[in-house]
Structure 1
Amino acid sequence: MGKHKYAVVGLGAFGSTVARELESLGNEVLGIDEDEARVNPVADEISHAVIGDGRDERTLRNLGLAEYDGVVVAIGEDLESSILCTLALKNLGVQQVWVKATSPAHHLILEKLGADRIVNPEHHVGVHVARTMIYPHVLDYIALGDDDYVVEFEVPEQLDRHSVSELQLQERYGIEVLAFKRAGSVSTRAGADLLLSRDDRLVLLGRIAALRRFSREKL
């Protein structure tokens, strides 16, 4: 199986980060921006980097984007350019078009154009910062929909030497322990008699209300 091919249109802070990360994960990546000053810094870090107008369907066709596995439109600061680029990519039949949005109106327009995934990095980062400030022992989380969350929870000092059974996660809160992490090792076998140590990590699955209640009552 060959490398997947992805393109990123717009190489600002967000786009260049996506391009570099896709490349580091073993993919072939094409970066496109009409500003040479944005192309040059990533030219040696991704497979291909070109100066070009991402709004122009002919340019995108000539670059072969119709054959790519996915394209990220990272021109969020320029609403018109973002819309024109998205429309051009959909007209070319690109398999997956991911687009950065900067406002609810932008998001709505992109939905109407048929963007496959719309992301608002500033919004997501803001929500993440706010929630981790309120729940400082939650290191990371994934929203699964319908108020179900997977969270990575750092064991605080007050739960040091407590067993998993003492937390009453399943019985009292309906929370499942998916994995246990200690000193860089991960195990899916966190038995009821496991004694926790400060700075251990538990990966938990539960409803957001139950996770909040656990945080209030145990921390």
Structure 2
Amino acid sequence: MKKQFAVIGLGRFGGSICESLSKQGMEVLAIDTNEDKVNRFANVATHAVVADSTDENTLKSLGIRNFDHVIVAIGDNIQSSILTTLMLVEQGVKHITVKAQNDYHEKVLNKIGAHKVVHPERDMGVRIAHNIVSKNVLDYLELSDEYSIVELMAGTTVNGKTLIDLDIRAKYGCNIMAIKRGETIDVSPSADVSLLKGDILIVIGADSDINRMEHALFDDED
């Protein structure tokens, strides 16, 4: 059976989630108080309704507790975001993901029972900053305050060298999860694989270790 999702708030973030879930073949209920936004997603989502998510009876009438996952993507109205999340928790929704505006907002959401809190603007800012600082960092995903997954592009320094030659795990404490070469992806590559300039390495490790490795092996000038 297809999973059922509800997206509350159809701004840029909520709208993007709604479109992505729909493209993946999921059943999506799109909810917003703005009729124009709802009409915009009427042909994207499975169902799109104009509704006030802070009203308990409205949520009950939509059968919100039967959805597998509800995403609260309400924009600048923190009060509505908090009240909506509280209603969802009280109605026993299985999984609730909420967009937070700031750290204070996140603390409140966590206290009232949100299962996952995200900061899309902040997280994207961090990813873009890493990309700007180093031309070798193609993408960056923060796992925690100290650990991340990074995509690094191989340059001349590592060209023709094997993972054994580089001894990345022993020297830098990082693990190579996969190597992308063109259209092919080698997951959990063997230690005798030779790297080529242009290969993309997907690396997991502590931020400090990744930075050491990047500067030592991936800071090519050309």
Q: If the length of structure 1 is used for normalisation, what is the TM-score?
A: 0.92
1:160 is matched with: 159
Q: If the length of structure 2 is used for normalisation, what is the TM-score?
A: 0.90
* 2:74 paired with 1:50: no
Describe the superposition over 1:112-147 as per-residue Cα deviations: whole angstroms up to 9, x where unpaired. 211111111111111111122223312223333372
8 Å CA contact retained: 1:164, 1:192: yes
Q: Aligned residue pairs: how many?
A: 218
* 2:123 paired with 1:124: yes
Give the counterpart letter for 1:206 in structure 2. Answer: G
1:215 is matched with: 214
Inter-CA distance 139–68: structure 2 relative to 1 (3 Å threshold): same
1:87 is matched with: 86
8 Å CA contact retained: 2:11, 2:75: no
Rounded Cα–Cα distance in structure 1 between residues aligned with 2:145 and 2:103: 21
8 Å CA contact retained: 1:153, 1:203: yes
Q: Which runs of 5+ in 2 are unaligned?
A: none
Describe the superposition over 1:184-216 as per-residue Cα deviations: whole angstroms up to 9, x where unpaired. 111135334432222211122222211111111
Instruction: Name the % identity.
Output: 36
1:170 is matched with: 169
8 Å CA contact retained: 1:101, 1:120: yes
Inter-CA distance 102–216: structure 2 relative to 1 (3 Å threshold): same
Rounded Cα–Cα distance in structure 2 between residues aligned with 1:142 and 1:211: 12
Inter-CA distance 193–112: structure 2 relative to 1 (3 Å threshold): closer
2:98 is matched with: 99
What is the CA RMSD across the aligned residues, in angstroms?
1.7
Inter-CA distance 209–201: structure 2 relative to 1 (3 Å threshold): same
Q: Which runs of 5+ in 1 are unaligned?
A: none
Give the counterpart letter for 2:35 in structure 1. Answer: E
8 Å CA contact retained: 2:130, 2:140: no
* 2:112 paired with 1:113: yes
Rounded Cα–Cα distance in structure 1 between residues aligned with 2:95 and 2:192: 46
8 Å CA contact retained: 1:155, 1:198: yes
2:67 is matched with: 68
Rounded Cα–Cα distance in structure 2 between residues aligned with 1:203 and 1:103: 30
